[in-house]
Amino acid sequence: MSEPAPDLMWTNGRFIAADIPIDATAARQLLPPGLTIGDDATATVFVADYPTTSFGPPYREAAVLLHASDATGVAASHCPFMLVDDDSSLIMGRELLGFPKKLGVIDVDYGADTVVASATRMGTELLRVEAEVGDVDPSPPAWSRRTVNVVGSLLTGMYFLELPVATERVHHAHHASVAISFGSIGQDNLTLLSEPVTAAGRSFMLDTGDASADLPILGEGVGFDWAVSAYFARSM
């Protein structure tokens, strides 16, 4: 008899995502010590719409995930930027999981075969995603990947936090042509990462996040100087 499917924390989440080339020098400035990025620097950019969660109300988020490697050469992603439109998600994601979340306004407009999304903070559009949705992707690659964040405070110290590849159930996925443009305000200097670009991406719906199995792993401490000059400077 097969095991029942686990209850997942995010259900029927709708995503628009694409991997894009980014400026390697700008990306390296965003990485914590111990993570490196090659000259062919890449980031995943996405906007997600979560209609149902196990921990709070519906919310949306927009983020950049840098593709990096750790000291042993194992691939990892690191999140230097994420906007959400709900404070419950902000608290859970930032204080517990190390994502540098800030509150913003995220608009998503779904058409018959298009999706247009924007993420705005303090009146400035920091991310715009325009997708033309195409054919069904019958064998979509896994969405979740190993992510290395940092978590803590100046009083308790900062520590690496590894988020293993998460449990997920994909409902459907489509190929998409995705146009991405960045804006900048304050410490969120996203225009340094890339000029406007169009890339092959995906539109998909999935459930993800098994609280009983996808457990974060607390790692070594991160230097005080980096925590002050990089992490907390960018959190404002």
The CATH number that applies at residue 109 is: 2.40.400.10
Query: Would you say residue 217 lies in a domain?
Result: no
pLDDT at residue 2 is higher than 70: no
Q: Which domain holds residue 137?
A: 10-144+169-210
Query: Would you say residue 156 lies in a domain?
Result: no
Summarize pLDDT for 206-215 with one digit per residue, the tens: 999 998 999 9
Query: Would you say residue 229 lies in a domain?
Result: no
Q: Which residues pair with 1 in a beta bridge?
A: none
Report whether 183 contacts 127 (CB < 8 A).
Answer: yes
1 pLDDT band (50/70/90 cuts)? very low
Query: Would you say residue 163 lies in a domain?
Result: no
Summarize pLDDT for 144-182 with one digit per residue, the tens: 999 999 998 888 889 999 999 999 999 999 999 999 999
Summarize pLDDT for 31-60 with one digit per residue, the tens: 999 999 999 999 999 999 999 999 889 999
* Cα-Cα-Cα-Cα dihedral sign, residues 165, 48, 90, 92: negative
Summarize pLDDT for 96-106 with one digit per residue, the tens: 999 999 999 99
**Number of separate domains in the chain:** 1
Query: Would you say residue 155 lies in a domain?
Result: no
Give the integer Cα–Cα distance in Å for 143 and 201.
12
Look-up of token digits 């419950």: 88
Give the integer Cα–Cα distance in Å for 48 and 56.
16
For residue 224, the model assigns a pLDDT of 82
Query: Would you say residue 140 lies in a domain?
Result: yes
Reading the block at residue 211, the tokens are 């609280």
The amino acid present at 126, given as its one-letter code, is: L
* pTM of the full structure: 0.95
Residue 168 to residues 118, 122, 143, 176, Cα–Cα distance (Å):
25, 33, 8, 21
For residue 53, the model assigns a pLDDT of 94
Are β-strands 75-84 and 101-103 bridged in parallel, bridged antiparallel, or unpaired? parallel
End-to-end CA distance of the chain: 52
Query: Would you say residue 59 lies in a domain?
Result: yes
Query: Would you say residue 44 lies in a domain?
Result: yes
